[in-house]
Amino acid sequence: MAELGQQTLTFGWLITILGCVISVAAGVTRRDDWTQVAERALYVVFGAITISMGTLFYAFATNDFSVAYVASHSARAMPLETRLAALWGGQAGSLLLWGWMVAAYGTTAIFLNRKSNRNLMPWVVFCVLINLGFFLSLCCFVSLPFEQVPPTEVRSDGNGLNPLLQHPLMTIHPVVLYAGFTGFVVPYAFAFANLVTGELGTQWFQTTRRWTLFAWTSLGGGLILGGRWAYEILGWGGYWGWDPVENAALMPWLAGTAYLHSVMIQEKRDMLKTWNLVLIGLTYLLCVFGTFLTRSGVVQSVHAFTNSGSFTPIFFTYVAVTAVLFFGMLLYRLPQLKTDNQLESMVSREAGFLLNNWVFMAILVVVFWGTLLPVVSEAISGNRTTVGPVFFNQHAGLWSLLLIFLTGVGPLIAWRRATPNSVRRQFVAPAAFGIAIGAVLSVLFWEDATVWAMACWTLSAFVIATIAQEYYRAVSARVRSKGEGALAALWLLLRRNQRRYGGYIVHLGIILMFIAVSGAVFNKERLENLKPGESLSLDKYSFEYKTAEPNLEQHFGGATARVALYRDGEGLATMLPQKRIYWLEQQPSSIPAIYSTWLEDVYLILNEVEPDGSATFKVHINPLVNWLWIGAAIAIGGSIFVMWPHPEVVRPRRQS
């Protein structure tokens, strides 16, 4: 079976090269029959990679340890779902998954556009195939997923998977994250085709709007799933540590978010054409660059793969060439991207969106610089200078406050030019509500709150009020003009203005996430060693250590502690934190016990069990943390609502 996987992979790589040549010829000659041949080449490549993926899945499912990749990342003791998820637990398999997803996206997009955008299609196919060809080249010549173990060295069991990755969330988190990374290849390919052909209108981004939203939503979902995984499995009490690999996924999300806002101005006012092409190109390049960071060993992270010789220069060259090709075409077309429409006033929705872009870029620069500073400093001075969460929190945190403010301002300001009266009328109620809520919360929590938290509460209340005002005024207008009930008016408003009012749902979810982040100022923690029967207290909670029992699992040992949780003397739950040692990998892991409420989490970590039976515990009280997951779910739901097919608007025929 391994031979089949390698042969289909090699076959797909050869067809990719052939398809690239044919697609360029089709674009130059403008022959649609050649374009169709190139499209079919992509279909064939997708089929070949699908067979390769299925073959590798089969090797994991059947414990085929004659395949070196399976032997390195799986073991018989692992359950089937974990063995299958191990396909993307290493470098070669994750690159194969990336290539398969690029092929899947490209094939679907090409098929859906088989009767439209025909002038763009040869260059769209070329862009997809050239990116796909690179990842297939890595799988065929650098990181080999089907490399065979010599027959005399085949073992009866494998090395197993990193215990940190043996978690249910890791079966879906990488797939969702990669769906975001690779999904941006479709709008990127259409933008590239737009530049090559000189068709610089709005058709390219209107065609790819839902593709972009899906990729952006997937990338955001992957980020939040990664945060939940870190919260449950890493045992440090948090969900985001500004790890380089976390940052590698955050950067394209920031650029993609800026693009989704900016593109509305081109559609509405035919402005910011250059901005939009820069942003979509930057988004995809950051997706690829993030993959380079993860797999090159350039940055140090619990998530990163190790460096493998020539891999780093090859991948970096690919990123550089891709950037030069795209932005070179952009510079060539720059004179044609100029527009007669100009910014008429700084007090306008266009100005707000433009400032929004700059704020996103400022946060992106902070994250980019903080992530790459160790690499740059080591290259220049030989010393590796690193920055921690404090750097990112201070610098990105300040820009994020302005971003929250702009989220509320956007809906309140008119296009082109806002009058003083309209600004006053729109701002009075939301601003008063925000200031009042911020003042009350600041007085109540003055001793514990930071300036950033108080500003966050004020601005978040302002944004929530603007969203409520927009919904209230729109629903009231429908009730008055059409005589509809309030609920019916709300439903019809949502269905007929999905992009606008669905976008407000996304904004609400993001604001709830900011509020959850602000809850970190109230975090409390305590570290203490207890003997059985002893207790510790933190805030209104007390913890009584009962006993520790050994873990008697097949592939890991260690201990599980039994701790009774009380609040104000009332029993709440028995918490069961674990300290594990995985036999095969010889790696320890702490599995925290979490007691959740709407307002806070009680987070208990078992650090160590001593020979005398005593145990060392670390307790965290994390206020508002669950609103991070709730806010993310609302934002994702809003994005799905925006993507949902719009109802057909049936217009009555005129009577002749």
Q: Is 640 part of any domain?
A: no
- C-alpha 648 chain-centroid distance: 32
Q: Is 69 part of any domain?
A: yes
Distances (CA, A) of 547 to 252, 541, 543, 571, 656: 47, 19, 12, 17, 87
d(CA 295, CA 304) in angstroms, rounded, equals: 6
**Domain count across the chain:** 2
Please, which pLDDT band fits residue 383 given cuts at 50, 70 and 90? confident
Average pLDDT, the chain: 90
pLDDT in tens, 125-181: 999 999 999 999 999 998 899 999 998 888 888 888 888 888 888 889 999 999 999
pLDDT at 415 over 80: no
pLDDT given at position 236: 86
Closest CA to 622 of 605, 606, 599, 601: 601
Q: Is 355 part of any domain?
A: no
d(CA 12, CA 47) in angstroms, rounded, equals: 8
pLDDT at 212 over 60: yes
Closest CA to 411 of 496, 458, 461, 469: 469
On whether the CB atoms of residues 292 and 315 are closer than 8 A, the answer is: yes
Which among 143, 160, 177 is the end of a domain? 160
pLDDT at 294 over 90: no
pLDDT given at position 655: 47
Please give the residue range of the domain that contains residue 5.
Answer: 1-160
Residue 289: CA count within 13 A, CB half-sphere: 20
Torsion sign over Cα 68, 72, 78, 81 = negative
Please, which pLDDT band fits residue 483 given cuts at 50, 70 and 90? confident
Q: What is the pTM of this model?
A: 0.93
Please, which pLDDT band fits residue 652 given cuts at 50, 70 and 90? very low
pLDDT in tens, 306-320: 555 678 888 889 999
d(CA 194, CA 123) in angstroms, rounded, equals: 9
pLDDT in tens, 389-407: 999 999 999 999 999 999 9
Which among 130, 160, 190 is the end of a domain? 160
pLDDT given at position 186: 97
Residue with the larger pLDDT of the pair 511 and 162: 511
CATH number of the domain to which 584 belongs: 2.60.98
pLDDT in tens, 534-561: 999 999 999 999 999 998 877 788 999 9
Closest CA to 92 of 103, 100, 102, 104: 100
Q: Is 70 part of any domain?
A: yes
Q: Is 580 part of any domain?
A: yes
pLDDT given at position 553: 79
Q: Is 89 part of any domain?
A: yes
Which among 145, 160, 175 is the end of a domain? 160
Q: Is 71 part of any domain?
A: yes
